[in-house]
Chains A and B, each alone.
Chain A
Amino acid sequence: MQDLLSRGRWIRALLLYLLAALLVFCLAPWVGGESISAGQVVRDITGKNAVLSTDTQIFVYQRVPRVLLGFLVGGALAVVGSVLQVILRNALAAPSTLGMTGAGSVGAVIAISIPHLAFSWGPFSSVQLFALLGSGVGLLFIYMLARQKQGISMNTLLLAGVTIGILCSAIIPLIKYLANPDMLVAMDRWMMGGLDVVGYRELAALFPLLVPGVGMLLLQGLNLNHITLGEEMALGHGVDVAAVERISFLAGALATASAVSMVGPIFFVGLIVPHIIRRLSGYDQRIVLPGAFLAGGAFLVLCDIIARTIVAPTEMPVGIITAILGGPFFIILLLRKK
C-alpha cells in the first residue's frame, strides 16, 4: 500500500479526485431524458435574457440542482461509510448501520400515511421534518444505549444501530398495512430513493445539518488513522479517542439523517466507495475521507444519470441503480480479495 504520509503525495492524490469529480459535475447537467441545446443555454446565460428558454430552465432549475444534490448526498454517504468502517472496525459498516436510515424512513412513511399533512417549515417539507424527527428518536435511543462513563462503546453502537435498522424494517410494513392503500405508492416511491428536486430552495435544507456533519468528519482523518491501531494505542499516542468517536458518531448521524430526509434511503454508496478509495489510494484516512466524498458524489451523480436516461422520458429511482450496480461491484471486490 502506498505511503501517503507526505504532503506532496496527498495534494497530488486530492487533485486527481477533484479533477475527476469536476469532470462529472460539469458534464452531468447536460445529460438527461430530454435533450437540451447547450448552445441555447449558454446564449441565454451569457446574454442574460430576461425570458429563459425551456432548455435553460430545465438546465438551471432541474439539472443543476439535481446534480448538486447528488454530489452532496453521495459524498456525504461515502464519507460517513468510510468513518464508520474505521470506528466500528467493520468493513461492512455503512451509513445505514447507524440506524438513521431506518428511523428516518419510519418518520417519512408516517408522514406520508397521514392524509392532508402538507406543510413546510423553512426549507423543510413535512415529510423531511418527520424523517428528521424519526432519525432524532433513533439517535437518542442508540446514544442512550451506547454511552459509557468515558465516551461511547463502539460495540454497543454497532449492535444498537443494526437492531434499530431491523426494527424499522419491521415497523414500516406495519405502517403500510395500516395506512390508506392510496398512500402505498407514494411510500414505496419514497423508499426507493430519488434525487428529483426542483429549484434551490430544497437544497438549502441540507446546509444546516449535512454540510456541518460532513465538514466535521473530514477533519478526523489523522485521528482515525490512529484509531485503526486500537483505542488504547491511539490514546497512548495522544488522541482523545472518546471525543473522536463521539464526534464521528454524531456528525455521521447528522449527515445521514439529513441525506435520508431529502432523498430517501440510498444504499451501497456508503458501503462500496470507501473500499474502492482504499484500494486506489491506500489506508491513510486523510486521503480516504476527501477522496470518498468526491468519488461518492460523482458515483451517485453517475447513477442518477443512468436513472434518468435509461427509461426516458420517465425516471427510475436512483436507489435502484445504486443497488443494481453496487451489489455486483461488491461481490467482485470480495472475490478479488480471495
Chain B
Amino acid sequence: MNESLLTIEKVCFSYQNSGWQLRNISLELSSGTMLGIIGPNGSGKSTLLKISAGVLAPLSGQILLGKDNIKNKPRRKIAGQLGYLPQNTSSMFDYRVEEVVALGRYPYLSGMGFLQKEDWQIVERCLDQTEIKIYRDRLISQLSGGERQRVWLASILAQEPQVLLLDEPTTGLDLHHQVAFFGLLEELAQNGMAIAVVTHDLNLAGQYCRELMLLRSGEKIISGLVGEVIQDDILAEVYQESLYVGRHPVNGRPIVLPVKK
C-alpha cells in the first residue's frame, strides 16, 4: 500500500465558549487517494480540514505531514508539501490570473520574492494543468465562478504540493464546472497526489472519491470505501432524512436521492 502522506491522529478541538467539539478524529491520506469528507452542516468538516492544514491548532492529537509533526514545522515548509483551498476565497485587489498563480510559488522564493525562470515554468505547467492558460491575462473579476476556482487551484498547485486539502471547492458552481473540477482532482490523484475534499454533494463524492469519511456533530460516524459509507440507513440516520441509495446505471457507483414524503 502507499505510504501515508498526511496522518491525523486522535485530534480534538473546540472553539472558545462553545460546547461543540471535534472528538478523536484520525485519518490517513495516502498517495493516489481522493477522500471525500461529508456530513451535515456543523459536523466539523471545515474545522477538520483547517486543523489538517495547520490553519487551526488542535487541542490534542497530532498531525503528521510525512513523518514530521506540523506543529513545529515552519509554514513555508508545510506549504511546499501541502496545499489548502479554503471555503471562502476573495481578493482585495483585482489581479491578473497569471499573477495569482505566480503567488503560489511563495515557498520557493527568497529575498524580495521575484520569480526565476524555473518558477515561471512551473506557473506555465499549472496554468496548463488547470486549463486556464487562455485566461492568463484576464483580471480575476472578469472570470466566472468556475474559472476562478481553477485559478485558486492553479495557485495552490504552484506550491508543488503532494497533499491537497479543499474545502467545498465546487459549491455554487454549475454542473459543467463541478464535473470539470472533480475530473481535474481525479487526474491529480491518479498522478500521485493525496487529496481530501470536503463536499456537500454526496453524488459527486460518490462518483469521484475512492474513500469517504462521514462526520456528525464532531464525531466520525464511519469511514471507508465509497460503497461502505453510502448506505441508506447510515445516511438517513446522520442527515435525519429519508433517502434512497441506488446504483448509477452507467458506472455502478452509489447514488443518493432524497425521498419526497
Binding site for B on A (CB under 8 A): 1, 3, 5-7, 10, 86, 89, 149-150, 221-222, 225-226, 228-230, 232-233, 235-240, 278, 283, 286
Please indicate the chain B residues that have their CB under 8 angstroms from the CB of A3 in the complex. Answer: 96, 98-99
Complex-state Cα separation, A283 to B155, whole angstroms: 18
> What count of chain B residues pass the 8 Å CB interface test?
45
Residues 128-168 of chain B, each 1 if its beta carbon lies under 8 Å from chain A, else 0: 00000000000100000000000010011001000000000
Q: Are A229 and B103 in contact (CB under 8 A)?
A: yes
Query: Which of A6, A150, A226, A236 has its CB near the most chain B CB atoms (within 10 A)?
Result: A236
Task: State A228–B90 Cα separation when bound (angstroms).
Answer: 8
Determine if A7 and B114 form an interchain contact, defined as CB atoms under 8 angstroms apart: yes
Q: Which residue of A is nearest B53, CB measured?
A: A236
Contact partner of A237 among B54, B77, B104, CB < 8 A? B104
Contacts of B77 in A (CB 8 A): 238
A221 / chain B contacts, CB cutoff of 8 Å: 112-113
* Cβ-closest 4 pairs across A and B: A238-B79, A236-B84, A232-B86, A222-B113
Q: When the two chains form their complex, are residues A150 and B53 in contact, meaning their CB atoms are under 8 A apart?
A: no
Is B88's beta carbon under 8 Å from chain A?
yes
Offer 21 A-B interface pairs, CB within 8 angstroms, sorted by A.
A5-B99, A7-B114, A10-B112, A149-B16, A150-B57, A226-B106, A228-B91, A229-B89, A229-B91, A230-B90, A232-B55, A232-B88, A233-B86, A233-B152, A236-B84, A237-B107, A237-B155, A237-B159, A238-B80, A278-B93, A286-B112
List 10 additional contacts besides A1-B93, A229-B90; criterion CB under 8 Å. A3-B99, A222-B106, A229-B92, A229-B100, A230-B86, A230-B90, A233-B152, A235-B54, A236-B79, A239-B75
Contact count A vs B, C-beta below 8 Å: 95
Report how far A7 CA is from B85 CA in the complex, Å.
28
- Residue in A1, A89, A150 whose beta carbon sits within 8 Å of that of B96 in the complex: A1
Contact B106 A239 (CB under 8 A): yes
Chain B residues numbered 56-97 whose CB sits less than 8 Å from any CB in chain A: 56-57, 74-80, 83-86, 88-96
How near does chain A come to B208, taking the closest CB pair, in angstroms?
22
* A6 B152 Cβ-Cβ under 8 A: no
Bound Cα distance from A89 to B88, whole angstroms: 15
Q: How far is the CA of A233 from the CA of B140 in the complex (A)?
A: 15
B115 touches A235 (CB 8 A): no
With an 8 A cutoff between CB atoms, is B35 at the interface?
Answer: no
Residue from B53, B54, B91, B94 in contact with A230 in the complex, judged by beta carbons closer than 8 Å: B91
Could you say which of B113, B139, B156 contacts A236, with CB atoms under 8 Å apart?
B156
Which residues of the other chain, A, contact B104 by a CB distance below 8 angstroms? Answer: 237
Contacts of A5 in B (CB 8 A): 99, 102, 114-115
Residue in B16, B75, B88, B92 whose beta carbon sits within 8 Å of that of A240 in the complex: B75
> Complex Cα distance A6/B90, Å?
24
A residues near B74, Cβ cutoff 8 Å: 240
* Complex CA–CA separation, A226 to B53 (angstroms): 17
The smallest beta-carbon distance between A243 and chain B, in angstroms, is 9
> Is there contact, CB below 8 Å, between B106 and A235?
no
Interface centre among A10, A86, A150, A222 (most CB of B within 10 A): A222
Which residues of A are found within 8 Å of B55, using beta-carbon distances? 232, 235-236
| Cβ-neighbour of B114 out of A6, A226, A230, A239 (below 8 A) | A6
Do B84 and A235 have beta carbons less than 8 Å apart? yes
Q: Flag if B109 contacts A222 (CB, 8 Å).
A: yes
CA of A323 to CA of B99, assembled, Å: 36
Given contacts A237-B159, A238-B76, contact A228 B93 (CB under 8 A): yes
A143 to B155, CA, bound (A): 34
Query: Cα distance A225–B103 when bound, in Å?
Result: 8
Residues of B within 8 A of A240 (CB): 74-75
Closest to A8 in B: B114
Report the bound CA distance from A71 to B75 in whole Å.
Answer: 37
Flag if A237 contacts B103 (CB, 8 Å): yes
Nearest Cβ on chain A to B123's Cβ, whole angstroms = 10
Cα A184 to Cα B74 in complex, Å, equals 54
Please, how many angstroms separate the alpha-carbon atoms of A278 and B92 in the complex?
Answer: 12
CB distance B159 to A228 under 8 Å?
no
Bound complex: CA A286 to CA B111 (Å):
11
Q: Which of B55, B106, B159 gathers most chain A CB within 10 Å?
A: B106
Instruction: Give the residue among A228, A230, A232 with the most B Cβ atoms within 10 A.
Output: A232
Bound Cα distance from A277 to B54, whole angstroms: 35
Give min CB distance, B106 to chain A, whole Å: 5
Among B86, B93, B104, max chain A CB count under 10 A is at B93
Whole-angstrom distance between the Cβ of A220 and the nearest chain B Cβ: 11
- B84 CB → nearest A CB, Å: 4
A148 CA to B55 CA, complexed, in Å: 14
Chain A proximity mask over B117-135: 1 for CB below 8 Å, otherwise 0: 0000000000000000000
Nearest chain B CB to A144's CB is how many angstroms away? 17
B75 touches A238 (CB 8 A): yes
